[in-house]
Structure 1
Amino acid sequence: MYPRLKSLVVAMLCALLATGCAKTQAAPETTSGPTPLTASAALGDFATVDYCSLLDVPAVAPGAVATPTFETCRADLGGRTILVGPLAFDSDPNIKPYAYLGPVPDGVAVQQSMFNDRTACTRAITFADGNRLELSVTDSGDDQAGRCGVADAVVGSVLDAVTANKVRRLKFPERSWGLVAPCVLLDNNDLDAVAGAGTRPAIGLSGHSCIRGKVSFKLTVETDEAKAPAGPPETVGGREARVRVAGAFCLVDTTQPAAGLPGHRELAELSVVETAGTAGDGTCAMARTAANAILPRLPTA
């Protein structure tokens, strides 16, 4: 009886624990779907993106002259300007859904902006991580359909470049302000009174701008033909600069030649905001104090 009882018990256990008495089967293979495209995966290091590598000038604007800045690409032709960049993350109430007809990578959305739509057609490419790349086509004409046709072509050019891994990197020459970490300059005890007690620097997406409390600092490139700010030049922080009021801000600008980019200059722009309303002499006094702490630390070309 014992062997028969043992067999019966084993049979019962096998019925209860079928997986233990049956031949093990491999779990079915799972197939992963498309990976949503983030801005960091598409563009890499934001601080060194050559945004002009995203713009196929011969296809989109034959004959246009494209110039990279630290955070944009600007292409000009016959009074029309195409701007690719900058990157942004903050919400913008002007951005609305848009039925872009071209192919779009997984996780990416193409939107339109209604801001200034009488002279500009603006698009936004929003990646899966919420970061968006803004682009616009601007001219003085009244052909909005024509501008938007070019804008859609620019969207296609950008998406083609990022999906084909054609994004190039900027190479900053020695002593270029493109090599400067702006938040390092704002992490300065001399700015405590101006920026606000307890404030800490917060870097922008591009890596070329920083905000600390009431103080903002941005580094970029502009053309030599760009109109100089109003007001006489003065020496601030050992550099020739211009100080001006713009609404709630007082701004201090200084420039140096842009090495390797004839006809362009690097621009350092510092601003202090007046939280109580319109900026005035008191705000500009604080802006000069901040500039005296920051500008001497910039390299000289």
Structure 2
Amino acid sequence: MLITACAAGCAAEPAAAPDSPAPLTAVSALGDFGTLDYCSLLDTTRLARSTVATPDSSFTGCQADFVQNGRQGSVTVGPLAADRDPNIQPYAYAGRLPDGITVQQSNFAPAETCARTITFAEGTRLSVTLSGGDADQRCARTDTVVDGVMTALTGGRVRHARFPDRSWGRVDACALLQSHDLDAASGADTQTAGGMTGHSCIRGKVSVDFAVVKQAPTGPAETLGGRNARVTSDGAFCRARAVQPSPATAGRAEQITVSVVDTTGSGGDAACPAARAAAEAVFAKIP
């Protein structure tokens, strides 16, 4: 009787609802942007019927060259971005997506390039681009690379780099621009604005960018900040570059670029005196 009475008069506790997965943000999926190994997101086996070279890892992306039916191409994952981009438009991506992630196409891309953008829940974007190869398969192959990125994000495959001592990957780009010896080139009242990974920074008219490159810059050499440097002008910009052998990857170089933009409209190499002065100060501070 007791059991019957309880069965009739006792309300059963509601079953606990299963936890819903939180929308996937870039931080939760990728971890520290500054040490992210973008090549851990690139699955080259997705490029079926292609001969793919070993991917090259930089501080802000990963690129692999390939040959498909005798036609050369390249695929790149990265960089990350957060600014608004009106060129990104929705399209019918057919793959499965984690909660909070969307995939768009970019209408602003070079010729013979298919560009996709993976957007995380908070709006941070990761670029995936494929250039060259067979034109009729280009975008389909780009989507298979995006599929591979999704598998890496949800399958515990995201890795991070450990930059060796003296690697420029350990340098905070904005710290290089915060001293008063850059006031003249950048503007005394300007503030630094860092890139998402810490490997680039802008202060007024001056910017600093670190990268890993296959080939050192060419041109006449000069000494700036105690380093061999090359200075080139491009439109309103003048850039001073220096390199060192990569401590992490044989046959590659780490490169620092100091750029200054001319705002007077003079063009040519009008910004180069300021670029040299800025590079003199910046290059002396890197290890």
Task: Give the TM bin, normalised by the shorter chain.
Answer: 0.7 to 0.9
CA deviation map 1:167-213 (0-9, x unaligned): 01111111010111111111111011211122121210111111111
Deviations 1:214-241 (A, max 9, x none): 11101110113x6x35x42211121111
CA-CA distance at 1:62 after TM superposition: 5.4
SS of residue paired to 1:85: strand
Bigger shift: 184-193 or 53-62? 53-62
For 1:280 and 1:147, how far apart are their aligned partners in 2? 38
The Cα shift of 1:117 comes to: 5.2
Residue in structure 1 matched with residue 34 of structure 2 by the alignment: 47
CA distance in 2, matches of 1:66, 1:129: 29
Q: Which has the higher helix share?
A: 1
Is residue 20 of structure 2 the alignment partner of residue 33 of structure 1?
A: yes
CA contact (8 A) 1:272 1:284 kept: yes
Match of 1:73 in 2: 62
Cα RMSD after superposing both structures: 2.2
Summarize the Cα distance change of 1:164–1:275 in structure 2 as closer, same or farther, 3 Å threshold.
same
Which is worse superposed, 260-269 or 26-35?
Answer: 26-35
Q: Counterpart of 2:280?
A: 292
Q: Greater CA radius of gyration, 1 or 2?
A: 1
Change (3 A) 1:279 1:298: farther
Pairing partner for 1:119 from 112, 129, 149: 112
Distance in 1, Cα, partners of 2:182 & 2:197? 23
Structure 1 residue 82: deviation in Å? Answer: 0.7
Deviations 1:227-256 (A, max 9, x none): x35x42211121111111112211111111
The equivalent residue for 1:259 is 247
Q: Is the 8 A contact 2:163 2:248 kept in 1?
A: no
Per the TM alignment, residue 285 of structure 1 is displaced from its structure 2 partner at its CA by 0.6
Tell me if 1:212 matches 2:203.
yes
Alpha-carbon displacement from aligned partner over 1:9-38 (angstroms, at most 9, x marks no partner): xxxxxxxxxxxxxx9x98996665331111
Q: Quick one: distance in 2 between partners of 1:278 and 1:29? A: 69
Residue among 226, 241, 254 paired with 1:238: 226
Distance 2:18 2:221 in 1: 64
Task: Give the distance between the partners of 1:181 and 1:107, measured in 2 at CA.
Answer: 31
Percent identical among aligned pairs is 48
Q: 2:130 aligns with which of 137, 148, 159?
A: 137
Cα gap change, 1:119 to 1:278, in 2 (>3 Å): farther
Q: Measure, in 1, the Cα distance between the counterparts of 2:220 and 2:110.
A: 34
Helix, strand or coil at the partner of 2:276: helix
Which residue, 170, 174, 183 being the options, matches 2:165? 174
Counterpart of 2:278 in structure 1: which amino acid?
A
User: Are residues 1:84 and 2:71 paired?
Assistant: no
State the SS of the aligned residue for 1:190. Answer: helix
Q: Is the Cα–Cα contact under 8 Å of residues 125 and 134 in structure 1 kept in the other structure?
A: yes
Q: SS of 1:65's equivalent? A: coil
**1:144-185 deviations in Å (ceiling 9; x for gaps):** 331112210110111110111210111111101011111111
Secondary structure of the structure 1 residue equivalent to 2:270? helix
Residue-by-residue CA offset, 1:70-91 (whole Å, 9 max, x unaligned): 1101111232111110001112
Q: Letter of the aligned partner of 2:25 in structure 1? A: T
Q: Are 1:98 and 2:85 an aligned pair?
A: no
Match of 2:45 among 52, 58, 64: 58
Alignment of 1:136-215 (within 5 A): 136-139=129-132, 143-215=134-206
Corresponding pairs, count? 272
